[in-house]
Amino acid sequence: MRTARRIASRFAQMVFVLWAVATILFLVFRLMPGNPLVAYIDPTFTEEQQQELLQRFGLDRPLHEQYVIYLGNLLRGDLGDSFFYRDSVTSLLWDVFPNTLALTMVALIIAYVIGVLLGALLAWLRTSRFEGIAIPLVLLSRAAPEFWLGMILLAIFSFQLGWFPAGGAFTAGSEAAVGPGRFFSLDFLRHLFLPALTLAIYLHGLPLLLMRSNMLETLKEDFVTMARMKGLSTWSVLVRHAARNALLPVLTAFALGIGYSIGGNVVVETVFSWPGIGRLLVRAVSASDYPLAQGAFLMIAAVMVFMNFVADLLYNVLDPRVSQDA
């Protein structure tokens, strides 16, 4: 009962944040200088035609009316039409969103599997000299600009060695690119490898350090000491107790990571010519395609807010320790 109430309150909070972000975005795009229809109008349009267009996009109305229309459209999932592509923003976004999601998820899964294992190992080897090399290395991987890392990987593994494709998500004209099975085709995975690796190198540091410090902490807790005294082997103590308890924060970080990465992928998508939502956003912003930029931003924000909500649930609601003392 209590849990249900907590979930409901978190959910309400999520809706509130979404509304606030949408409102901020509306204000940013409407209050900015410049003709909002720039990308739509071409030199042959007369003044009259421009007025007609302003009218059609509702841009001639007072701001508050525009705002109400905007919110109404959002609720119906209507993000308007892209000025540049002259196509519905929703369909353009859905075209590329799965690519971004696939890249993000694969990269995160690789990063977290490796990160968790290495983190546990490091905690285990706490006193060894190994750590003195491993920790700086991990920090290095998190300090390198992703695009720079991507450029170097691309230069070596694609341009020089020719092992992987130089960009894109599919081979040209691939029939695998159409239809629901596309994300499981070998072709897709081959194209996914380098960008996912780049991201994973950047992302694995967090779960690694998190896992390590959580495990170290858990290893000092009384119940672990108890378990040890009961004569359980160190290995089973490690796996059964320490690792299990240390995993929850890592899982939370994973959920948050999805949200953060989807927005942060922009540069990697650019280096690898990955047809994703980040590249679409960059393209839309430089083309002054406001509806598309707004839509892409909102979509990224929505994923992020939703994943924040999920992480919140994982951490605050499902974790028995936290809910008990609330």
Partner 1 sequence: MKQWMSLAGFTLALALVAGAFAQGDRIRSIELLSRPQAAAPQEFQSAQLIAQAWRELGLDVTVNAMPWEQLADVVWYERDVWDVTAWQMVGRPERGDPDEIVFNLFHSSTAESGYNFIGYNNPAYDAVAEAQRVETDPDARQAIVAEAQQIINADQPYMFLVHPQVAYAFRSDIWSPDSIVEQNGIGIKNFWSFIGAQPASDQRDMILNSADVVQAINPFYISGAVDSWITELIWDRLLRVGPDGLPQPWAAESYTWVDDTTIDVTLRSGMTWHDGEPVTVEDVVFSFEAPMGGEVPMYAPFVSGIESVEALDDSTVRFSLKQPSAAFLVTSLAKVNLVPEHIWGPILADLVDDPDNAESYQEDMPIGSGPLSFVRWRASEEVVLETNADHFSAPSYDRWILRIVPNSEAALGMLRRGELNFLSAYAGDPQILVDTSQTEPINVVASTDIGFRFIGFNNRRAPFDDAAFRRALSLAVNRNLIAQAAYRGFAVPSNSPVSPALPFWHEESVMNFETGIDLAKSILEEAGYTTDGSGRLLYPDGVSETLD
Partner 2 sequence: MPEQTVRIRPSRRQAFLRSLRELGHVLISDRYAFTGALVYVAFIVVAALAGVLAPYEPTEILFTPDGMLAGDLPPSADHPLGTTSLGRDIYSQLLYGTRSALLVGLVAAFFVVAIGTLVGLVAGYMGGIVDTILMRITDIAFGIPFLPFVIVLSAFLEPSIWNVVLAMSLILWRDTGRVIRSQVLTVKHRSFIEAARVSGSSTARILFVHIAPNVLPISLLYGSIAVGWAILTEASISFLGFGATDQISWGYMLQDAYLSQALSRGAWHWFVPPGLAIVVIVVAGFFISRGYEDILFPKLKD
Interaction site with partner 1 (CB under 8 A): 34-35, 38-39, 41-45, 49, 52-53, 55-56, 84-87, 92, 95-96, 154, 158-159, 162, 165-173, 177-178, 270, 272-273, 275-276, 279-280, 283, 286-288
* Candidate residues 101, 247, 266, 314; the one interacting with partner 2 per rule CB under 8 A: 266
Q: Would you state the structure tokens that stand for residue 30, as one six-digit string?
A: 């409407």
The listed partner (partner 2, partner 1, none) that binds 264, CB under 5 to 8 Å by sort, is partner 2
In the list partner 2, partner 1, none, the entry touching 147 (Cβ below 5 to 8 angstroms by class) is partner 2
Q: Which amino acid is at 205?
A: G
CA-based torsion, 167, 171, 172, 175: positive or negative: negative
Question: Can you list the alpha helix ranges (DSSP code H) found in the chain?
Answer: 2-31, 47-56, 63-75, 89-124, 130-143, 146-153, 186-203, 205-219, 222-229, 234-236, 244-264, 266-271, 277-286, 290-312, 320-324
- Rounded to the nearest angstrom, the gap between the alpha carbon of residue 319 and the centroid of all alpha carbons in its chain is 24
Nearest partner of 246 among 205, 216, 224, 226, judged by Cα: 216
Q: Give the CA radius of gyration of the chain.
A: 24
Residue 244 interacts with, from partner 1, partner 2, none (CB under 5-8 Å by kind): none
Residue choice 237, 297, 313, 317 for contact with partner 2 (CB under 8 A): 297
Options 74, 194, 281, 314; binder of partner 2; rule CB under 8 A: 281
* CA-based nearest residue to 169, from 202, 134, 194: 194
In the bound state with partner 2, the residue whose beta carbon lies nearer, of 182 and 292, is 292
| Identified binder of partner 2 from the candidate list 119, 257, 259, 291, rule CB under 8 A | 259
Residues that bind partner 2 (CB under 8 A): 13, 16-18, 20-21, 24, 28, 32-33, 135-136, 139-140, 142-148, 151-152, 154-155, 159, 213, 216-217, 220, 259-260, 262-264, 266-267, 270, 278, 281-282, 285-286, 288, 293, 296-297, 300-301, 304-305, 308
